[in-house]
Amino acid sequence: MRGVLLAGGTGSRLWPLTRITNKHLLPIYDRPMVQWSIEALVNAGVTELMLVTGGTHAGEFLRLLGNGHEFGIDRLSYGYQEHPGGIAEALGLAERFADGEAIIVMLADNVVERSIRPMVDAFEKDPTGARILLTEVREPEHLRHLGVPEIDAEGRVVRILEKPEEPPSNFGVTGIYCYDAGVFDVIKRLAPSGRGELEITDVNNHYVRQKTMRYDVLDGFWGDAGESIDAYYAVNDFVRSYGANKA
C-alpha cells in the first residue's frame, strides 16, 4: 500500500503563525508537525509516500525531508496543488503515483496517540472499497466542526454528514482514509461544493452508497492540530506529556 500525505491549505485558522510558513511545518513538541504523520505511516509499514502541498512555502518541505530516507521512507514523491481546491482535488494529484495500487491518505495535521497499523493491516487483507478511521468525541460542539457518520443498528455507516448541527453519532471522522485504486475515478466525477472545492466527504459518501465503506475506531487520543489555535496548543500539550504513535 502506498501513502499520500496531504499538507496543503492556507492555514488561515492558525494565522498569524502561518504567515511565514506552511502550518504543517509548525512545531509539535520537538519536531515539525508533518513528521508525526510521516512517523505514523512509516510505523504502519507504509514506506512509499507522496506529499502534496501548495502555496509559497512548498519548497520548505524538500529542505526538511529531502529524499525521506532519514525518516524511514524508501521512496518519497512530491505533488503541488496550484490553487486551493479541496482535499479530494489534492488527492487526485496522486493518481500516477498510486499506479493502480490501494492507498492510505493522511492529513498532515492529524496526530494520533496509538499506531494506525491495525487499520492498515485490515485494509491490506481486503483492499476493496474504502476504510475510514473514527474517533469518539463526547463534546457535541466539537462534532459540529467535523464529519460525523450516521451508523445503523448493525454497525454500518449509512451516511456521513459534514459539520452537522445535530450530530447523528458520537464519532468524528479523522483525516485518515484507505481507498482502493478506484478512488481517482470517483474524484473525477465529483462536482465542486458550495465553497468551490472537491470534498473528501463526497468521496466517502460514494463508498457508503456502494456499501463498500468500513471503519475502525481509534484507540487513544486524536488531534487535528490545524483546527484552531486552541487545538494546536492542546495537541502540543498532549504530545509533550504523553507522546504519539505508540504501539
Give the predicted TM-score (pTM) of the model.
0.95
**Is 194's pLDDT higher than 90?**
no
Locate 228 and state its grid cell: 484552531
Average pLDDT value for residue range 232-246: 97
Alpha helices by DSSP H, 21-162? 33-43, 59-65, 87-92, 95-98, 117-125, 140-143
User: What top-level class would CATH report for the domain 2-127+175-197+222-242?
Assistant: alpha beta
Q: What is the pLDDT of residues 118-132, one digit of tens each?
A: 999 999 999 999 999
Residue-level pLDDT at 110: 97
In the chain, the N- to C-terminal Cα span, in Å, equals: 20
CA–CA dist 111, 93 (Å, integer): 23
The DSSP 8-state label assigned to residue 246 in this structure reads B
Residue 10 clears pLDDT 80, i.e. is over it: no
Distance CA 202, CA 211 (A): 14
Domain-by-domain residue ranges, the chain? 2-127+175-197+222-242
User: Confidence class of residue 26 from pLDDT cuts 50, 70 and 90?
Assistant: very high
- How confident is the model at residue 94, as a pLDDT? 98
The model's pLDDT over 79-112, given as tens digits with 9 standing for 90+, comes to 999 888 899 999 999 999 999 999 999 999 999 9
Residues 143 and 135: their CA atoms lie apart, in Å, by: 10
Give percent of the chain above pLDDT 90.
Answer: 88
